[in-house]
Amino acid sequence: MPKLTTPISDADIRALKVGDTVLLNGIIVTGRDAAHKFMIESYIRNPVTEVNKELYDDLRQLLDGGVIYHCGPVVKQHEDGSYSFVAAGPTTSIREEVYQPEVIAHFNLKGVIGKGGMGPNTLKACADQPAVYFHAIGGAATLIAESVKEVITVHKLEFGVPEAMWVIRVVDFPVVVTMDSHGGSLHEKVLAESQERFESLLA
């Protein structure tokens, strides 16, 4: 099983095909609806203000060749102020379809982790960038949390724990490529097969 460590190169992304299982290592960032909306409105579609510039510079470095994880973790804060993940399961990705292509292009993302797949705009962005969509195992939140070896920091905690941007270090985080940089999508295939089956039942 191949291992990839962030930041990930274009060549490593282009080598991946749908169905490949990968172990991810290195630094990744969680981000759901609030985080994507914030990045679009504060950094991508509008000029960066002095108030948000420091975080912008951090995110440019973290996400360049990096991975964003659609995840609303359960987090424990320890007496020394540090954090650890108790559960880290993926959340449904399609909600980010309206934001994801722009975020991928602007920050030079190489991977998006979530569940359920994404739409045609994200698939096109994966081909253009290049990038891939990684499917994480739904219902395995506690198991996935074991791959999170360190919570490095957190940004935008005012959004709430699930919506904040957690910067984490992972070791051998298991994922499956379900949208690749060559236009391949297992989600489109499943949808097409389901539609064909449905139509055959109605015939």
Q: Buried b / exposed e across 18-41, counting CB within 10 Å, b at 16+?
A: bebebbbbbbbbbbbbbbbbbbbe
Catalytic (active-site) positions: 36
Looking at residue 2, its pLDDT comes to 87
Instruction: Specify the amino acid at residue 146.
Output: E
Q: pLDDT value at position 26? A: 98
Strands 74-77 and 83-87: antiparallel
Low pLDDT (below 50) residues in the chain: 194, 198, 201
Distance CA 57, CA 66 (A): 14
**Residue-wise DSSP of 20-32:** -EEEEEEEEEE--
132: left (phi over 0), alpha (psi -120 to 50) or beta: beta
90 vs 30, 50, 55, 113, 134, CA distance in Å?
10, 33, 24, 7, 10
φ, ψ for residue 139, nearest 5 deg? 80, 10
pLDDT at 189: 64
Pairing of strands 67-69, 21-30: parallel
Residues making up the chain, counted from first to last: 203
Q: What is the predicted pLDDT for the residue at 145?
A: 85
**Is residue 65 within 8 Å of 79, Cβ to Cβ?**
no
67 neighbors 113 (Cβ within 8 angstroms): yes
For tokens 């975020």, what's the residue?
A: 103
**DSSP 8-state code for residue 90:** B
What pLDDT was estimated at residue 78? Answer: 94
Q: List pLDDT tens digits, range 80-135.
A: 999 999 999 899 999 999 999 999 999 999 999 999 999 999 999 999 999 999 99
In what helix (H) or strand (E) does residue 195 lie, and over which residues does it extend?
A: helix 186-202
Cβ 10 vs Cβ 130: under 8 Å: yes
Residue written as tokens 């935008």?
156
The pLDDT value given to residue 194: 44
> The pTM is what?
0.91
- Domains along the chain with CATH numbers: 3-202 (3.20.130.10)
